[in-house]
Amino acid sequence: MVRRPLPRILSKDSAQIARTQLARSRELARTAADSATDVLHPLITVTRGLRLLAAAGRRRWADTPKDKRGPLLFFVASVFLIVALMPYGPLLALITVMAAAAWHGRDRTPPAPEGPDASQTERLQALYEALVPYFAGADDPAPLYAHGGEWEKAYAAHEFDDAGRIGHLVIRYPAYFPDGDPQARARIEQLLTVKAGRSREYHFAWDEEGNQLTVTALAPLPADIPAQRFVTAPGETVLGFTDPSEVQRTLPLSYGEERIDVPPVVWRTGIRSTEPHLLAMGHPGSGTSTLLRSIALQTLQYGDVLIVDGGGTGEYACLTGREGVLAVECALPGALASLEWAAQETERRLIAINLARQAGDPPPEDTRRPLWILLDRPSVFAHLATADGRKDPQTLLQVPLRHGRAANVTVVVAEQFDSAEALSDAVRQHTRARVVLGTAEPQQVEAVLGMAPHTTPMAQVPPGRGYARLGSGPVHRLQVPRTPDPYDDATSDADRQAVLELLPPRATAVGAADLSKPADLSKPTEKKAPVAAEAMAAES
């Protein structure tokens, strides 16, 4: 009996070979299409000309008055009869018609200019002169950059947008330029941003081996994508959207009345995640609360959420009393009780999972459901705790931060730059996923992300716009989906309806009957849903 070979598992090398073969097949198909177009170009031109001549004849016949159509038809028939009776008449008529069709069917598109015009040349020359002090060397016998030099040698490629501004530029620089020095790079990037236009964002790609710098003007990220259900797997959270060249995945989204594919920044959490916790930083009004609301609406589909709001402005009142929302705390006593319960719940999950593994059983069902702890501005509680002589609530986060990945517990902290020094060491060390929103200095962005972005920040950015970095990965531009507070009077009707549709239903009547009693968080297995009176009044 002959054994049939087992199917080979698609490895990384075989997948790379398959992609290479697919790319070659596409290239061959493109080459064949271009060759066919070149061969059939005369036929295409003649066919286009015959169509234009026929259309002109129909228009002439439609414009002719009815009383003159008879003589015109008689004249055309006479011409055809004379041509048919002449020696070589049909052949000459056919050649004449083909020549006229070829003339009328020719490509009349004006040729693209071979080089930049006068204004573009002036822009390139001005940029070249601005780079001379940085790239010129006093001991260089053949300097590439010199005052009054030729900019054509310094630029390998250049493109302009419809407004006449630089859209793409490849700059050559001498080998002795210290391209490995971050400060030297920053000076060049700042200069190029000023000369090319401050109203746009630019991406800088340094090629140290080839001594080339590629500058690309980036299109603005869509800032009006509303909150909606994203096509993601359990454990995946969409932080926002980024450039198509940065990620290899797109999500189908509803954009008005259309369906578009947008590249997302997906944050993966859970037992196998290398970045189980997140820290978001920004200035007031930058959109950190919007990010936390977006995360809460996504995680409530498959997990439980505990919210601690240090701002106390009611940003999360819409989540109060919803299914899956354990508590929304805005006061220091409630925050301490909630975080103490979260620490005990994390320990309980760890013990239950460990006992199940020792017995060879799967983890208990109550440990599989993810638990999310969302803290907005914990520094406010730190100041209040110091004034009241209580412990900082951030000290209760050490257990969830250190052991949260094994216990399926995720912590998300949002803080402002002016209170960044109030963050505890545990929050700084264990939040490997970082987000910076709003207008921030390059030093602040680098201090939070641990790496400077390859794009220049804009002076004015919409709310929810910033940068994201997951662990040791690259820095991505980020635009958080529009998730405003539906109870805010400034929220539009469309945005309010989009958020309300994502909210889970209210808790059961049994839970609502106990609203007058204080929430008892000493029982880790019992879900509580305290209610803020202001939120209930606003919804009613």
**3-state DSSP of 202-255:** EEEEEECCCCEEEEEEECCCCCCCECCCCCCCCCEEEEEECCCCCCCCCEEEEE
What are the two backbone dihedrals, phi and then psi, of residue 147, each rounded to the nearest 5 degrees? -60, 125
With CA atoms as reference, report the closest residue to 312 among 369, 248, 379.
Answer: 379
Helix intervals (H) in 431-476:
442-449
Strand, coil or helix: what is 492? coil
Angle at the Cα of 316 from the Cα atoms of 310 and 319, rounded to 5 degrees: 135
Cα–Cα distance for residue pair 521/523, rounded to 1 Å: 5
Q: What angle do CA 494, 497, 498 make, to 5 degrees?
A: 85
Q: How far apart are CA 521 and CA 371, in angstroms?
A: 15
- pLDDT attached to residue 86: 83
Q: 367-389 burial, b if ≥16 CB within 10 A, otherwise e?
A: beebbbbbbbbbbbbbebbeeee
Amino acid letter for position 310: G
Instruction: Name every residue whose Cβ is closer than 8 Å to that of residue 34 and which is 6 or more positions away in sequence.
Output: none
C-alpha–C-alpha distance, residues 279 and 229, integer Å = 23
Element (H, E) at 469: strand 465-470
Maximum Cα–Cα distance across the chain: 117
Picking from 298, 302, 323, the residue whose alpha carbon sits closest to that of residue 228 is: 298
- How far are the Cα atoms of 48, 66, 496, 505, 531 from residue 534, in angstroms, in the given order? 71, 81, 18, 18, 9
* Distances, alpha carbon 67 to alpha carbons 56, 63, 71, 189, 462, in Å: 20, 12, 8, 75, 68
Task: Look at residue 14 in the predicted model and tell me its pLDDT.
Answer: 53
C-alpha distances in angstroms, 265 versus 76, 209, 458? 69, 30, 20
Residues of the chain with pLDDT under 50: 1, 5-13, 15, 509-540
- How is residue 283 written in tokens? 């200035």
pTM of the model: 0.73
- To the nearest 10°, the Cα dihedral for 499, 411, 527, 536? -40
CB under 8 A, 24+ apart: contacts of 200-206: 200/165, 200/458, 201/455, 201/456, 201/457, 201/458, 201/477, 202/455, 202/456, 203/243, 203/454, 203/455, 204/454, 204/455, 204/456, 205/454, 206/179
Length of the chain in residues, anyone?
540
User: How much is the pLDDT for 358?
Assistant: 92
Q: What is the pLDDT of residue 416?
A: 93
| CA count, 13 A, side-chain hemisphere, 510 | 3
**CA 220 → CA 97, 286, 457, 462, 495, distances in Å?**
52, 17, 12, 10, 21
